[in-house]
Amino acid sequence: VYNPNFLELNKDTLMTQVIPSNQGGAVDSWAISPTLPNGLVFDTATGSISGTPAGISPQSTYTVYGNNTGGGAIATVTIIVNDAAPSSLIYSPSSFTLTKDVEMQSVTPTAGGGAVVTWSITPSLPVGLLFETSNGTISGTPTVISPLKTYNITATNAGGFGNVSITMEVNDLPPSGIVYSAHPFTLTKGDPMVSNTPTTTGGGAVDSWSITPQLPAGL
């Protein structure tokens, strides 16, 4: 008997050694069929299975034989070796300051460990931006203003998952085309001027106004 007798392992990750137990007479020799996945070791003196799997292997059942001069007994062990979990996820850059209605430069992450099967992100990106679930690429043109937020990205395969965080904000377009219709102003001391409010012909909405140097006294 092997306990456990189902081993789900990860490529390049050391497994916990499994040693069989038996009743009846002492086992003189052990054998296994078929051969274990590359990197795993079967000890013919003890029947133990140990090692670090070096490649991916589909789910397979292995038959173990324990023998002595009185005869033999068998046990079965099922082993599957998944790819290594994704690791060392990197976005470069990892912080994004974007402008509304301006296309961003797309960025694709790098990853170590096993090959990534799927990518996911939470929360959703600002409207207009795209997240590609096949390779983690972020691209697009943001169409709304968004405050600074942290986004958590997960890369997954059969062996597990890896995480990375990025930050992103979307600012408004700068104002442009500021026009005073009465410019230039020719005023007379002591006479009230006709107020003049500027207009903008492009860019984002104006949040605040300032002027330099200070206006003449009285204005």
**pLDDT for the residue 202:** 84
Nearest to 37 by CA among 64, 62, 1: 62
**pLDDT for the residue 204:** 87
Q: Which two tokens stand for residue 75?
A: 């046990």
pLDDT digits (tens, 9 = 90+) for 66-95: 999 999 999 999 999 999 999 999 999 999
Cβ neighbours of residue 204 closer than 8 Å, sequence gap 6 or more: 100, 172, 173, 174, 175
pLDDT > 90? residue 63: yes
pTM for the model stands at 0.77
**pLDDT for the residue 106:** 97
More confident residue, 175 or 119: 119
Question: Which position has the token pair 């679930």?
Answer: 133
pLDDT digits (tens, 9 = 90+) for 154-195: 999 999 999 999 999 999 999 989 999 988 999 999 999 999
Q: Are strands 29-33 and 57-68 parallel, antiparallel or unpaired?
A: antiparallel
User: Quick one: pLDDT band at residue 52, thresholds 50, 70, 90?
Assistant: very high
Q: How far apart are CA 18 and CA 80, in angstroms?
A: 15
pLDDT > 90? residue 205: no
Nearest to 135 by CA among 103, 151, 111, 167: 111
**pLDDT for the residue 7:** 97
Cβ proximity of 58 and 80 under 8 Å: yes
Look over the chain and give the mean of its residue pLDDT values, rounded to a whole number: 95
User: Quick one: pLDDT band at residue 12, thresholds 50, 70, 90?
Assistant: very high
Q: How far apart are CA 27 and CA 1, in angstroms?
A: 13
Nearest to 197 by CA among 173, 178, 174: 178
**pLDDT for the residue 203:** 86
From residue 51, how far is each of 10, 12, 39, 126, 150 by CA, in Å? 11, 10, 6, 47, 40
**pLDDT for the residue 87:** 94
- Residues 18-41: what's their mean pLDDT? 96
